[in-house]
Amino acid sequence: MTFVELNISGVVEIIPDVKGDERGGFFRSYCQQEMDKINMKPIVQMNHSFNVQKGTLRGLHYQKPPHQEQKLIRCVHGAVWDVFVDLRKNSPTFLQWDKVILSAEKMNSIFIPEGMAHGFITLENNSELIYAHTAFYQPQFEAGLSFDDKMLNITWPTKPTIISDRDRNHPHLSDEFKGIEL
C-alpha cells in the first residue's frame, strides 16, 4: 500500500499494490499493521452505500464527541467525488475541505480521521462504497452540515440530482461554530 497525504491534516489516500496476471488481480484492501502507520484504530463497524443514479449526493455527515469516528472508505463499483471537511477546533486546516475521486477502477481508498464531516456525489450510475468505521454508530450523536454551505464554498463537480430531505436540511455554519474538541 502507498499512503499519500492530502491537503487536510491527517487525511490519507491509500493506493493499493495490485498484483495481476491472466486471471485478474489481487490486492490488500486493509491491513491493521499498515494502518497503524496512520494511527487508524481497529474497525468495529462496516457499512455499504449503494447509489442508483449519477448525481446522488450524500453528506456532509459526522459524529459528535464522544462518539467521533475514523473512516476508511473505498468505492467498489462506479465512481464518486468524495469530500471531507476539517471540523477540528485546533487543526491547522480547520474549516478547509479537500476531495478525492474514489473509483472501482482506481481501487483507491481514503482514510478520514476523527473530527471530519464527509460526503460525496456519484459520478456514475450504480456507484457503491464500503465504509469501515472505528466507532459504533450513535444516532443521538449524528450531525451534518449543509452541502451548499457558503462558509465552506465547496465546488461540487456537478449539481446534485438526488439528495435526501435530511441532507438537504442540514444546518449551515455560523460564526459561532468554534469546531469540535477532540
Question: Could you list the residue range(s) of the whole structural domain that residue 39 is in?
Answer: 2-168
DSSP classification of residue 139: G
In one-letter notation, the amino acid at residue 84 is: F
Q: Kindly state whether residue 70 falls inside one of the protein's structural domains.
A: yes
Give the chain's length: 182
The active-site residue, picked from 48, 77, 131, 172, is: 131
Pairing verdict, β 109-112 and 24-26: unpaired
Among residues 30, 48, 61, 133, the one annotated as catalytic is: 61
Distance CA 118, CA 110 (A): 11
18 domain residue, yes or no: yes
Q: Cis peptide leading into 173, omega within 30 of 0?
A: no
For residue 180, being part of any structural domain is answered with no
- Look up 170 and say whether it is catalytic: no
Q: Is residue 94 one of the residues assigned to a domain? A: yes
CA distance 48 to 127: 11
Instruction: Kindly report the number of other CB atoms within 10 A of residue 16's CB atom.
Output: 17
- Per the annotation, the verdict on 131 as an active-site residue is yes
Look at the chain and report how many structural domains it folds into: 1
The CATH number of residue 74's host domain is 2.60.120.10
Residue 36 sits at φ, ψ, to 5 deg, of -60, -30
Q: Is residue 174 part of a domain?
A: no
Q: How many CB atoms lie within 10 A of CB 108?
A: 20
Q: Quick: pLDDT tens for 31-81.
A: 999 999 999 999 999 999 999 999 999 999 999 999 999 999 999 999 999
The half-sphere exposure of 166 on its side-chain side, counting CA atoms within 13 A, is: 7
Per-residue pLDDT of the chain (182 residues; tens, 9 = 90+): 999 999 999 999 999 999 999 999 899 889 999 999 999 999 999 999 999 999 999 999 999 999 999 999 999 999 999 999 999 999 999 999 999 999 999 999 999 999 999 999 999 999 999 999 999 999 999 999 999 999 999 999 999 999 999 999 999 999 889 999 98
